[in-house]
Amino acid sequence: MKKKNNIKKDRNLFYSLSKFILKIPFILYYRPTIIGKEKIPKEGPIIFVGNHIHLFDQCLPILATNRIIHYMAKKEYFTNWKVSWFFKLAGCISVDRKTNDQKAAHSALNVLKKGYALGIFPEGTRNRTNEILLPFKKGAVSMAQKTGATIVPFIVTGKYERKGNLTCTFLNPITVKKDEDITKANNNLRQLMIDNLKKHA
């Protein structure tokens, strides 16, 4: 007899409705290619970790999975009345990037402890430099270690243009062992993404 799953399903009517409305124009305009979405676990706590080149990067994993993704977003989005309502209703988590935001960390950990999906861009901001990746903050690997969540790395390549060859590639999921050094795990994750960004450039 199949064991009953006691994890409450993550539901958000606003998120689902917004996805339904926005995905068609997004797909028709950018025509993104999504590779490896079968690697995304269908249940259990996961952390989507990606490079950050554009405001719309978070849309690509949203298109690739039926799971609701709670993205960590800078607090400025939550203080601007024009967009704050959207981020709040979509289940995003406000982060003060200038401080060690314990409230945001607590909220993110709660998402994972419930068995839900979290989205993080460990560079902390959009990469507007010529570097392949900016240095990574350690939040993603630290939370993965604390909660046992699986990290799902993804890389975004191409351009957000009509014929920009926009591609989102999901890499093999990884876990962080309880006794693993956080700095080493963080460096390994970053190097994995750098290697794949070079490969898909």
Position 161 in a domain: yes
Q: How many domains does the chain have?
A: 1
Predicted confidence (pLDDT) per residue in 34-75, tens digit: 999 999 999 999 999 999 999 999 999 999 999 999 999 999
Position 27 in a domain: no
Position 194 in a domain: no
- Give residue 23's pLDDT: 94
Comparing CA positions, the residue from 118, 101, 120, 100 lying closest to residue 109 is 118
The pLDDT-based confidence of 11 (bands split at 50, 70, 90) is confident
- Is 90 exceeded by the pLDDT of residue 12? no
**Enclosing domain of residue 83:** 64-173
- Give residue 3's pLDDT: 42
What's this model's pTM, rounded to 2 decimal places? Answer: 0.92
Position 187 in a domain: no
Position 191 in a domain: no
Q: What is the arithmetic mean of pLDDT over 116-127?
A: 97
The pLDDT-based confidence of 4 (bands split at 50, 70, 90) is very low
- Is 50 exceeded by the pLDDT of residue 173? yes
Position 49 in a domain: no
Q: What is the arithmetic mean of pLDDT over 145-164?
A: 96
- Give residue 16's pLDDT: 94
- 150 in Cβ contact with 46 (< 8 Å): yes
CA dihedral over 56, 60, 63, 67, signed as positive or negative:
negative
Position 2 in a domain: no
The pLDDT-based confidence of 20 (bands split at 50, 70, 90) is very high
Position 115 in a domain: yes
What is the C-alpha to C-alpha distance for residues 81 and 88, in angstroms, rounded to an integer?
Answer: 11
- Is 50 exceeded by the pLDDT of residue 5? no
Predicted confidence (pLDDT) per residue in 87-102, tens digit: 999 999 999 977 888 9
The pLDDT-based confidence of 8 (bands split at 50, 70, 90) is low
- Give residue 100's pLDDT: 80
| Residue 35 identity | I
Comparing CA positions, the residue from 190, 121, 125, 118 lying closest to residue 149 is 118
Coil vs helix vs strand at 107: helix
- Give residue 2's pLDDT: 43
Comparing CA positions, the residue from 159, 148, 128, 144 lying closest to residue 30 is 159
- Give residue 168's pLDDT: 98
CB-CB neighbours of 70 under 10 Å: 25
